[in-house]
Amino acid sequence: MNSRIPDFNDVCAAHERIKPFINRTPVMTSRSLNEITGASLFFKCENFQRVGAFKYRGATNAVLLLDPEKAIKGVATHSSGNHAAALALAAKINGLPAYIVMPENAPEIKKIAVKGYGAQITFCKPTLQAREEILQMVVEKTGAAFIHPFDNSNIVAGQGTAARELIMDFPDLDIVMAPVGGGGLLSGTSISAKSMKPGIKVIAAEPEMANDAFKSYYSDKLVPSLNPKTIADGLLTSLSDLTLSIIRKNVDEIITVREETIIRAMRLVWERMKIIIEPSSAVTLAVVLENPEKFKNKKTGLIISGGNVDLNKLPF
């Protein structure tokens, strides 16, 4: 099931399943950002989602779909980011244990958040190999179910519910855009968008400095991210076979942006919209800023992926 390609029925079923647990997040507009960009922008504010990120949708769906007998042994993942917090809270709410493997150098604020949701943390060296090895040990010892942050059909279906709400609220969008890291949000978004409105254009936004999705999409193989370095710390991961295949099918274009535009876009949203978004969320607006002609007078939905920022380490 977990690597089966989900379809829009899965998204709709996920939506019904997770509704009692998630926030129906608002869609915001901004006169001044419309003036600056010449576009007509609709921001789907997943920074107001529980745990401050869309990740809570997928994590909740995955937890609720566990086989009850297996579920009591809990869930496990390796992550230093929003997926860890999301899985920890989804497990807590369902009375299940959560085991999170985190690199020992993860930001203190994230360690506190994950601990606050009652998860058991195992620290590891900050390499992918160490993470996977330690996770394997944790899973073997506890019997917990490994919930991958994006290479998982149930996660992808859950993430697709954000775009579903957006298009339900604003059915006349011309374009919908999401950032791409591992591709869970983008895959789910693209499934909802193309199913609800076949003529809509789905665009992915990616930092130039972590452009593995761009390379994979425009070549014939999965290109891993090599030493990515971007302020958009949620977009460092590479696609999986599952997400790449969905993206190939449904996404019209992947556009990369410069770091300074990401920072400018983030600051614009903070200053003009008075909402806090994390750098990964600013990548979509950065695409609009760098390509104004493409979005001129176009009704464009942007998925704001999250709002978890360390206020002591702002880029401005």
Binding residues for its own copies, rule: CB under 8 A, are 26, 31, 47-48, 50, 52, 267, 270-271, 273-277, 307, 311-312, 314, 316
Q: How far is the CB of 144 from its own copies (least distance, A)?
A: 26
Sign, CA dihedral 85-91-96-100, equals negative
Distances (CA, A) of 263 to 51, 238, 254, 259: 23, 22, 19, 6
For residue 32, the cross-strand partners are: none
Nearer to its own copies by Cβ, of 66 and 185: the residue is: 185
Nearer to its own copies by Cβ, of 26 and 292: the residue is: 26
Encoding tokens for residue 157? 């279906």
Q: How far is the CB of 117 from its own copies (least distance, A)?
A: 11
Q: Please give the DSSP secondary-structure letter assigned to residue 17.
A: H
Dihedral over alpha carbons 165, 81, 236, 11 (to 10 degrees): -30
Nearer to its own copies by Cβ, of 124 and 269: the residue is: 269
Angstrom distance (rounded) from CA 43 to CA 46: 9
Q: How far is the CB of 190 from its own copies (least distance, A)?
A: 26
Nearer to its own copies by Cβ, of 138 and 304: the residue is: 304
Q: How far is the CB of 305 from its own copies (least distance, A)?
A: 12
Count CB-CB contacts under 10 A for residue 55.
33
Whether 191 contacts 12, CB under 8 Å:
no
Nearer to its own copies by Cβ, of 260 and 271: the residue is: 271
